[in-house]
Amino acid sequence: MKTKTTTTALTCLLLIMFIFTGYAQVLPPDSMGEKVYNEYKANGVKKAIAKYQTLKKK
């Protein structure tokens, strides 16, 4: 009985830990890096650098 309770508790604890680590890795959609990367993909390096400098000043 004690083994079953311990196993269930450890399983729940591991599940909770994995949920928190997965949640922590999600980047907000409006992060500065993503904006600069999208600018780079669309218009090239020079425009991306200009976008970075603009966002850095904010």
> What range defines the domain where residue 28 resides?
2-57
- Quote the pLDDT of residue 4: 75
Q: Which pair of tokens denotes residue 2? A: 């004690």
State how many domains the chain has.
Answer: 1
- Quote the pLDDT of residue 46: 95
Q: What is the DSSP letter of 31?
A: -
Q: What is the pLDDT of residues 8-40, one digit of tens each?
A: 999 998 888 887 776 666 666 788 888 999 999
| Cα distances (Å, whole numbers) of residue 1 to 4, 10, 13, 39, 43 | 5, 14, 18, 59, 64
